[in-house]
Structure 1
Amino acid sequence: MGNDRVLCLTIYKSEAGARLLRERYLEALRAWPGAREEVRVPTPEGETFVVVAGPAGAPPLVLLHGSGSNAAEWAPRIPALTGRFRVHAVDIIGEPGLSAETRPPLGSDRYARWLDAVLDHFGVPRAAFLTSSFGGWVALDYATRRPERVAALALRCPIGLGPMKKGFVVKAVLLSLLGEKGRRKSVAGTIGEPETSPIVEHQLLVSAHYRYRTGPFPVFGDAALSRLTMPVYAVAGADDAMVDSATTKRRLEAAGAVVDFMPGTGHYIPGSRDLEFLTDAAANGDFTA
């Protein structure tokens, strides 16, 4: 187990930065709406932190956050989600949460085996997934490898379906040369939010102390997408500065998914029909193995 693990000991830029982000996360967890369980799950990739909430007998729903984030990303939506589902908000490994700092190769099956261990720990043979950005890539990878374990897939601004836009990287580098003002403008433009947005403030804090993944994310081929036998819903912003959303829409629709393409919206998407979609999937019996 230990020898083949890819462990990144430097996902944080400093130990002080790691402590700061951890403290902020713990503050967010203390403000979590409603009752919750905090579970540390042993997996082949190291310990994984999961926040569990909602009625024990409700259909299981796994939440996978975006890059540079953690389970606290979902806190505003928890009251609505736990009204209908047993929620498992997972801190993805290698991200600034409380899970192990392991980052397996994206082209391997190790993320799928990691999620197998998480679901098995909770005795969940089959679950729906609600995801954001990089979490969508992780869920798509799992759904194409383990379609029998995915009841429904709701993707918010997913990556891995079309090429990442190269222009935003160049622009981000140039803006970073302008100091704090440039970095703020870069983050705001990347996620499609005003510079004064609390979301921009949070992302500036994270980027100051956390090392994001580098390199391209693997793009799923048509053969892989043909294995998405479960109901799939996605929402993508037409003005996404990072992702080629038009290609995302075209390829997912070709695979049978329902896609909402939102004009005037960037990578951050404030609302969508994902809860309605997941509720319908549960009512239609899609959670039954």
Structure 2
Amino acid sequence: MSESGPGRTRTDTTVHGVHVVLEGDPAAPPLLLIHGSGATGSTWAPVVPSLATTYRVITIDLPGCGRSEPASAYAVSQQADRTAALLDELGFGSLKVVGHSSGGYVATALVERRPDLVGELVLVSTGPSLAALLPEPAIFKVLASPLFGPLVWAMRTDLMVRRGLAATAVAPITVPDTAVADLRRTTYRGFRAILAANMDYITAGTVPERLIAAGKPLLAVFGDSDPRWDPAAAHQYEAVPGAELRYLRGVGHMAMLEDPDALVRSILDYTR
């Protein structure tokens, strides 16, 4: 489905089983937004209109999430390969890639496996190493339970979805209705498999270690009150040559929902 208006076009489609939305001037430089675990492309909704004034913004639902088809396996490398296939099909290269939370692992794997597709890299609230992980919120512990997790997932309401996202925020958030509907499409089995794959990836090597030799411009953005990953651990990214680190004041883990304007400014300001 395509829509158009003054100075912009919007296309909502599926490519190789991956749901993708493209918004902005088709001639503008491309920017890819990759969501984190248990989220979908629609969680980026508060920042897309502003970013689309400068970029051709591409948001995706990773395999097994939202409106994308389930996958047979969810290793981060496989998620990156599926993303690369989509970008190849659409004819994009040398993009600015923005990954939120574990979406930053997929973005990093994209750098590792297809460096030609990544021009600049922005990691938002992406835990740099397993040692930086803070104690899980109560809702995460429930969902991890083999006894109660599937039951809670099956019975979740729109309100529970909103509260689940708010559990890692420190500022009040408004979750778009479309995001709630898309989040409810994800299966519990897929969600748990994605979480496990993300832990495998970061256990095998920290994100800064993986990026040191990549030679890609890197901006790491962290909320200074992130309850999911130790904000001080974001300094680990300074090991990457030329990397820049920015903290968002009074922001937790969900920057695009807590302070979308500050996140947009960070992304737009960063150009190498």
TM-score between both structures, scaled by the size of structure 1: 0.69
1:36-51 correspondence to structure 2 within 5 Å: 36-42=10-16, 47-51=17-21
1:1-289 correspondence to structure 2 within 5 Å: 35-42=9-16, 47-96=17-66, 98-102=67-71, 104-106=73-75, 109-163=77-131, 165=133, 167-169=135-137, 172-173=140-141, 188-194=166-172, 197-199=173-175, 206=183, 210-211=187-188, 212-213=191-192, 214-215=195-196, 217=199, 218-219=201-202, 220-221=205-206, 223-247=209-233, 249-255=234-240, 256-269=242-255, 270-271=259-260, 272=262, 275=265, 277-278=267-268, 280-281=270-271
1:191 & 1:207 partners in 2: Cα distance? 19
| Distance verdict in 2 for CA 1:276–1:243, change over 3 Å | closer
2:184 & 2:112 partners in 1: Cα distance? 31
Report the equivalent of 1:21: none
Larger Rg: 1
1:118 & 1:275 partners in 2: Cα distance? 27
Asked whether the equivalents of residues 218 and 243 of structure 2 are also in contact (C-alpha less than 8 Å), the reply is yes
Instruction: Using the aligned pairs only, state the percent identity.
Output: 27
5+ unaligned residues in a row in structure 1: which ranges? 1-28, 285-289
Secondary structure at the counterpart of residue 88 of structure 1? strand
2:251 & 2:41 partners in 1: Cα distance? 23
- Per mean C-alpha deviation after superposition, the further-off stretch among 146-155 and 256-265 is 256-265
1:209 & 1:38 partners in 2: Cα distance? 19
Q: CA deviation at 1:39?
A: 2.3
Question: How well do the aligned residues superpose, as a CA RMSD in angstroms?
Answer: 3.7
Asked whether the equivalents of residues 137 and 160 of structure 1 are also in contact (C-alpha less than 8 Å), the reply is no
5+ unaligned residues in a row in structure 2: which ranges? none
Cα distance per residue 1:56-85 (max 9 Å; x no partner):
211111111222222222222222211111
2:117 & 2:33 partners in 1: Cα distance? 15
Q: CA deviation at 1:251?
A: 1.8
Q: CA deviation at 1:166?
A: 5.3
Report the equivalent of 1:16: none
- Per mean C-alpha deviation after superposition, the further-off stretch among 203-212 and 127-136 is 203-212
Detail structure 1 runs of 4+ shifted over 6 Å in the superposition: 174-177, 183-186, 200-205
| Distance verdict in 2 for CA 1:190–1:205, change over 3 Å | farther
TM-score between both structures, scaled by the size of structure 2: 0.72
